[in-house]
Structure 1
Amino acid sequence: MSKETLWEKQSRTNPKQAQDYIERFAQLRAEGADLHGEARFVDALLPRGARVLDAGCGTGRVGGELAARSHAVTGVDLDGELLAQARKDFPGSRWEHCDLATLRLRDADGNPELFDVVVAAGNVLAFAAPGSTGAVLRSLAGHLAGNGRLVVGFSLRKGYALGDFERDAAAAGLVFTARFSGWDMHDFDADGDFIVALLHGAKP
């Protein structure tokens, strides 16, 4: 049985968590807030029509924008309420109920489904079940195509320390390509409160 994620734990104590999240971003969108920094970052890495896995997709905010930019998007999340919103707002993409720590997507021939980019934005790693971040990174690494890249962004103030992330990434066979302090690609500050990391699988 999978461990309870921090998002699931918070949802038990606050059943309105998912709806509050949906409403908060709807309000930001109505106010004209820029909600697409993550999608612009990822889109800049890709040719048109690339295969994208939005890991911890939530309402599809990132994946939906990438689909609008011509990419083939699959989104996965554990929260059924957020997935329902993603399916409503972005019906042209695929949205699956999955646990990232045990993620095993398969293609039509039963082989592991591979992607040009796997993106985990919105503090996905920080919300993982305690002790499961290594398994999550191994699962995501296992869905990278040969030249595929993993993009993650999360707050370093939510309990998942930079050193732990580096060790988990190395254990998953991932190599850092670049690090930034945010989606606007400012230079990374190890004493800052946010990291955006670009990684790839270790070459044989």
Structure 2
Amino acid sequence: MTSTDNLWLQKIAADPGHSQWYIERFRTMAARGDDLGGEARMIDAMVPRNARILDAGCGTGRVGGHLAAAGHRVTGVDLDAELIAEARSQHPGSHWQVGDLSTINLPDRFDAIVCAGNVMAFAGPSQRADILRRFAEHLTGGGRAVVGFGAGRGYEFDDFIADAEKGGLFPDMLLSTWDLRPFTPSADFLVAVLRAA
């Protein structure tokens, strides 16, 4: 059972075509030649070759697909069955599954967990601390979780850091973009590189 305060699930309930709109949006961006691989390039630089990577809130597999193409072993988890179907279609070499990040219990431990695309802001307030705790539990020794989301989405950056620390994740580095620009108090986006305690 997933949380009723999850904003993505609320969007789907209000508009059953929302997932398909999202899929088409990224197909259009890819066809236009937009750069959709920035997050994956950052993660690829952080891990050894053939790393195990969890794409948390993977959506259509955009980030995980790039990482798999770079030679990593990718598992993707997302609440939305339509987005998972698209990920399986577009990136068949990886493992994509429908699941709730606040309750996942996967057999693997990961060298990196990437959580892009404002997933933490879409997660319901009752889910957020549990998601971060699950991330900590799924990392290998020395593994890191990288979480990115924008300001003004109902989840203050300070609250996120406090939730992460309660869940056993501590900042190694805070950035304001996926291309490694430093985080500042005026930043409108956070990319947090977190290590497990």
Q: Tell me if TM exceeds 0.5.
A: yes
Q: Which residue of 1 aligns with 2:142?
A: 147
- Indicate the RMSD between aligned Cα atoms, in angstroms: 0.8
Q: Which residue of 2 aligns with 1:164?
A: 159
Where in structure 2 are the equivalents of 1:14-25 lying within 5 Å?
A: 14-25=15-26
Q: Which residue of 1 aligns with 2:105?
A: 104
List runs of 5+ in structure 2 lacking aligned partners. none
Name the count of aligned residue pairs.
196
Query: Normalising by structure 2, what TM-score?
Result: 0.97
CA distance in 1 between counterparts of 2:85 and 2:133 reads: 27
Displacement of 1:190 after TM fit? 2.2
Q: Which residue of 2 aligns with 1:110?
A: none
Q: Which residue of 2 aligns with 1:115?
A: 110
Q: Which residue of 2 aligns with 1:83?
A: 84
Identity of aligned residues (%): 52
CA distance in 1 between counterparts of 2:136 and 2:186 reads: 27
Q: Does 1:193 align with 2:180?
A: no
CA distance in 1 between counterparts of 2:183 and 2:158 reads: 14
Displacement of 1:157 after TM fit? 1.4
Q: Which residue of 2 aligns with 1:35?
A: 36
Q: Which residue of 2 aligns with 1:11?
A: 12
SS in 1 for 2:124: coil
CA distance in 2 between counterparts of 1:163 and 1:199 reads: 14
CA distance in 2 between counterparts of 1:140 and 1:17 reads: 27
Q: Give structure 1 regions of 4+ aligned residues with deviation exceeding 4 angstroms.
A: none
SS in 2 for 1:146: strand
Query: Normalising by structure 1, what TM-score?
Result: 0.94
Displacement of 1:166 after TM fit? 1.2
Q: Does 1:60 align with 2:57?
A: no
Q: Which residue of 2 aligns with 1:2?
A: 2
- Which amino acid is the alignment partner of residue 97 of structure 2? E
- Which amino acid is the alignment partner of residue 106 of structure 2? L
CA distance in 1 between counterparts of 2:17 and 2:184 reads: 35
List runs of 5+ in structure 1 lacking aligned partners. 107-112
Q: Which residue of 2 aligns with 1:124?
A: 119
Q: Which residue of 2 aligns with 1:133?
A: 128
Displacement of 1:131 after TM fit? 2.3
Q: Which residue of 2 aligns with 1:109?
A: none
- Which amino acid is the alignment partner of residue 10 of structure 2? K
Displacement of 1:177 after TM fit? 0.4
CA distance in 2 between counterparts of 1:22 and 1:190 reads: 33
